[in-house]
Chain A
Amino acid sequence: MTAALEVLHASKSFPGVKALDDVSLTLQPGSIHALLGENGAGKSTLIKIVTGLHRPDAGEVRLNGQAVGFANPRQAVAAGIGAVHQERNLVTRFSIGENIMLERLGAHALSPIDYGQIHAEAAKWLALLDLYIDPRRPVSSLSVAQMQLVEIGKALALQTRVLLLDEPTASLTPNESQVLFGILRRLRDDGVAIVFVSHKLEEVFDLCDTVTVLRDGRNACSGVPLKDLDRQAVVKMMIGRDERIAKRAPRPRAETAPYLELKNVATSAGHRDISFSVRPGEIIGLYGLVGAGRSELAKAILGQIRRTGGEIRVAGKPAAIASPADALHKYGIGYVSEDRKQEGLILLHSVLGNAGITVWRRLSNALGFLRDRTIIDHTAPVLRQLEVKTPSVYQTIGNLSGGNQQKVSVAKWIAAGVKLLIIDEPTVGIDIKTKAYLHDLIHDLAEQGTAILLITSDMPEMVDVADHILVMSGFAIKGEVENDRNYERVSQAIMGFIHDNASTGAAA
Chain B
Amino acid sequence: MVLIALAFAVFASALPGFTTPFSLFAIGRQIGIDTMIGLAMMAVIVTGGLDLSVGAIGVSAAMVFGWLCERLGLPLAVSIPGALLFGALLGAINGYTVVRSGVHSFIITLASMSIFFGVMIFLTKAEAFRGLPPEVAGLGRLKLGGKVSALLAVSLAACVALSVFYRFTTLGRRMLAAGANPRAAEISGVRTGRMIIACHALTGALAALAGLMVTARTGAAVPSMAGQLGQDWLLPAFLAPVLGGTLLSGGRVAVFGTLLGAAFVNVITSGLLQLRVGEFWIQACLGLILLAAVLADRGRHTILRRRGLV
Interface residues of A (CB under 8 A from B): 302, 304, 323-325, 327-329, 335, 337, 342-349, 353, 357-358, 360-361, 364, 367-371, 396, 398-399, 412, 416
Are B184 and A399 touching (Cβ within 8 A)?
no
Known: A342-B183, A360-B170, A364-B169. A328 touches B189 (CB 8 A): yes
Chain B residues with Cβ under 8 A from A361's Cβ?
170, 189
- Does the CB pair B169–A370 fall under 8 Å? yes
Interface status of B251 (Cβ within 8 A of chain A): yes
What are the interface flags for B138-168 relative to A under an 8 Å C-beta threshold, 1 for contact and 0 otherwise?
Answer: 0000000000000000000000000000001
| CB-defined A-B contacts under 8 Å, sample of 26 | A323-B191, A324-B186, A325-B189, A327-B189, A328-B189, A335-B187, A337-B187, A342-B181, A342-B183, A344-B184, A346-B180, A347-B181, A348-B180, A348-B181, A348-B304, A348-B309, A349-B180, A357-B185, A357-B189, A364-B169, A364-B170, A398-B308, A398-B310, A399-B307, A399-B309, A416-B189
B contact residues around A353 at 8 Å (CB): 173, 176-177
With most chain A CB atoms within 10 A of its CB, the pick from B170, B176, B191 is B170
Interface presence of B171 (CB below 8 A):
yes
Give A361 Cβ to nearest chain B Cβ, in Å: 6
Residue B174 at the chain A interface, CB threshold 8 Å: yes
Give the interface size bracket for B toward A: 20 to 34
CB distance from B99 to the nearest CB of A (A): 13
How far does the Cβ of B279 sit from chain A's closest Cβ, in whole Å?
39
CA distance A369 to B167 in the complex (A): 9
Question: Given A325-B189, A325-B191, A349-B177, is A343 in contact with B183 using a C-beta cutoff of 8 Å?
Answer: yes
Contact in complex: A348, B168 (CB < 8 Å): no
Is the Cβ of A357 less than 8 Å from the Cβ of B309?
no
By the criterion CB–CB under 8 Å, are A357 and B168 in contact?
no
Closest residue of chain A to B164 (Cβ to Cβ) is: A369
Contacts of A371 in B (CB 8 A): 168
Q: Are B308 and A399 in contact (CB under 8 A)?
A: yes
Q: Once the chains are docked, how many angstroms separate the CA of A396 from the CA of B251?
A: 13
Complex Cα–Cα for A342 and B280 (A): 45
The reply to whether B169 and A368 contact each other, CB–CB distance below 8 Å, is yes
What distance in Å separates the Cβ of A120 from its nearest Cβ neighbour in chain B? 39
A346/B185 contact (C-beta < 8 A), A357-B177, A360-B174, A368-B169 known: yes
Counting chain B CB atoms within 10 Å of each CB, the highest count among A304, A337, A369 belongs to A369
Collect the chain B residues with CB atoms within 8 Å of residue A416's CB: 189
- Contact flag A349-B251 (CB < 8 Å), given A342-B183, A358-B189: yes
Whether A370 contacts B168 by the Cβ 8 Å rule is: yes
Contacts of A304 in B (CB 8 A): 186-187
Chain A residues whose CB sits within 8 angstroms of the CB of B307 once the complex forms: 396, 398-399
Please, what's the 1-or-0 string for B202-225, where 1 marks a CB less than 8 Å from any CB in chain A? 000000000000000000000000
B20 within 8 A of A: no
B252 touches A370 (CB 8 A): no
Knowing that A324-B187, A324-B188 touch, tell me 9 more A-B residue pairs with CB under 8 angstroms.
A343-B184, A347-B181, A357-B185, A367-B169, A369-B169, A396-B307, A399-B307, A412-B188, A416-B189
| Cα–Cα, bound, A383→B49 (Å) | 33
Contact at A348–B310, with CB atoms within 8 Å? yes
B294 at the interface (CB under 8 A from A): no
